[in-house]
Amino acid sequence: MKQGDRLYQETMLRVGRGGMRGIDSLLESGHTGIAEKHTVLKMITYVRELEQELGINIPKATEVQTEGTIKVRDGNMEYWV
């Protein structure tokens, strides 16, 4: 991953330049894969906080009980109901 990549740019728009300092440091040191992992984590954290503010309750992937639920595929999204 590079600073010009879409994932980086979209995350920076949401968490700000200050929130990307640690990721910038990893990229400068040449750790592109781990920087991408941290960027994804920042984006997920941002989305979770936004969901909480809006009162949207979506279970974490580890909390999904597959028994008694139906897997729904909608385009490239997949969720349980």
Task: Report yes or no on whether pTM surpasses 0.95.
Answer: no
**DSSP percent split of the chain into helix, strand, coil, nearest 5:** 60, 10, 30
In a domain, 29, yes or no: yes
In a domain, 1, yes or no: no
In a domain, 35, yes or no: yes
In a domain, 55, yes or no: yes
| Tens digits of residue pLDDT in 5-52 | 999 999 999 999 999 999 999 999 999 999 999 999 999 999 989 988
Extract the runs of DSSP E, i.e. beta strands, from 1-81.
71-74, 77-80
Cβ burial, residue 15 (10 Å; 0-12/13-18/19+)? middle
Structure tokens at 6: 């879409």
**Packing angle between helix 32-54 and helix 21-28, nearest 10 degrees?**
170
Number of domains into which the chain is organized: 1
More confident residue, 72 or 13: 13
